[in-house]
């Protein structure tokens, strides 16, 4: 037998309350200038990345 808490969690009312709470939290985070978790923020690198290539040593020429 399900408890009252379980019945509430499984109810449509709970789902709506949770949805409203999440929307409110996202709005507050955006108002504070924080990107919500999961939002993809494109960070452009300030300077160009350098690529380092290591070449194998050349054999010395013996005559």
Side-chain half-sphere CA neighbours of 33 within 13 A: 0
Indicate whether 10 belongs to any domain: yes
- 23 vs 2: which has the higher pLDDT: 23
- 12 vs 56: which has the higher pLDDT: 12
* 40, 34 contact by CB (below 8 A): no
33-46: average pLDDT: 69
Indicate whether 5 belongs to any domain: yes
What is the rounded average pLDDT for all residues in the chain? 82
Indicate whether 3 belongs to any domain: yes
Indicate the number of domains in the chain: 1
pLDDT of residue 23: 92
Q: Give dist(CA 38, CA 21) in Å, integer.
A: 17
Q: Residue 5 pLDDT more than 70?
A: yes
Q: Give dist(CA 22, CA 14) in Å, integer.
A: 12
Question: Cα–chain-centroid distance for residue 9?
Answer: 27
Q: What is the pLDDT of residues 50-60, one digit of tens each?
A: 788 888 888 87
pLDDT of residue 42: 63
């Amino acid at each position: 037998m399900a408890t009252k808490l379980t019945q509430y969690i499984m109810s449509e009312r709970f789902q709506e309350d949770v949805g409203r709470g999440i929307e409110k939290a996202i709005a507050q985070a955006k108002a504070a200038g924080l990107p919500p978790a999961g939002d993809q923020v494109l960070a452009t690198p300030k300077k160009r990345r350098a690529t380092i290539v290591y070449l194998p040593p050349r054999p010395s020429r013996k005559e």
